[in-house]
Structure 1
Amino acid sequence: MAAARILLADDDRELSELLTRFLVREGFSVEPVFDGEAALRRALSEPYDALVLDIMMPVRSGLDVLRDLRAATTLPVLMLTALGDDVDRILGLEIGADDYLTKPCNPHELAARIRAVLRRARRDEGDSPRFADMHIGAVELRVGPRTALLHGQALNLTTSEFNILAVLMREAGRGVSKEMLAEAALGRALSPFDRSIDVHISRLRRKLGSAADGQSRVATLHGSGYLFRRVSE
């Protein structure tokens, strides 16, 4: 199998060089860029498997890049955020990042996170979650093309959002823990104070809208997780 092609966008050239050398040794093909405009242009014009995107970028910020990227593609994106920048981290997830890692980052952890993102994006991986097509109320999930529809109209879901929805619909009517959703959507365990799943659920709820009874299709089970409601529509 060809090496996964990674676009690394970070204006710290010394750090980029170190991370590039390490990731290449780990078996990835890595192409660095050093400003947000170049990152967006390359991500939209060339076939990468994932983008590692620093938030603090010259010319265009990583958040601006991510916002424009999500209007055009579901390319998996792993954000790099400064330690303690919780607002930027949550905003990045809200815009559509698949996962995040704080800087300074451990290169081994970065490689592990990239592999987790790639596992979720590749349906032919043996350890990817397997689901059947499902249709509950007005929501339809088609596994083959990895498409979700609402009243017959396609929803623009990220990889993480699709996997979360697939787990929730498979367990419809039963509660699903945040830990289970994290394994399915992030490919990793939740860390303390990690709000990634909550933010992905918030985005998913907005895209799914309200059910016929006016309530959210995804209910919160306080202290335990979430539940996809079986409703007639």
Structure 2
Amino acid sequence: MKTALITGANKSIGFETARQLLQLGYHVYLGSRDLQKGQQAADQLQAEGHAAVTALQIDVTDPASIAAARTELGQHTRVLDVLINNAGISGGMPQPTLTTAVSVVKEVFETNVFGVMEVTQAFLDLLRESAAPRIVNVTSGLGSLTLHTDPTWKYYPVKGAAYMPSKAALNAYTIMLAYELRDTSFKVNAVDPGYTATDFNHHSGPGSVPDAAARVVKAALLGPDGPTSQFFSDDNAPETGISPW
């Protein structure tokens, strides 16, 4: 049975991603900063008939928590096939560049960028044991520098000092990580799930959670001939599915 770890998976897109991977026969380690909430989410999935789900406490901003999660996961499996870095925060909106406190920017980067880096490094050894390891970094179309300079883009007015730059940095990290793993069987990609109605945006997005999760799952299931170092976005690039960086 293949295995997957999803951070921030106790609700919304992360939770639905877990459900869809369970439906495909994966054993899912459901990462949650709050173990109680993670266990409640796992219990719900088990009640739906998905036995192969395990709650895992992991706070991506806490190195000790990440290390403990790696130790615990290693007690369950010696192989990790999929890592989905889904945990993220917005930092609150609006975020005017002239007045947003630097402390807010640092807080957002701690989760959206540095957390991804630390989690990836911590679990890389287990991923290397997989015959077809996949790393999916959940990003946002708002992380595209190219689109942010295009006045005709539908989200052009949506700017900010913390969230958007954090996702641009995550995209850059994805490129660098994919490059370093280019001569291996890894596939490393960034996925924009689209503007989805979740707690993250006060349910203002037009997209559905199942559709958003399906985009993430698609990248997690890439075959040996699939692309790496890509920025997938059906929202920003409906014809090709590949967003400009």
Q: TM-score, normalised by structure 1?
A: 0.44
TM-score by length of 2: 0.42
Structure showing greater radius of gyration is: 1
- The answer to which structure has the higher strand fraction is 1
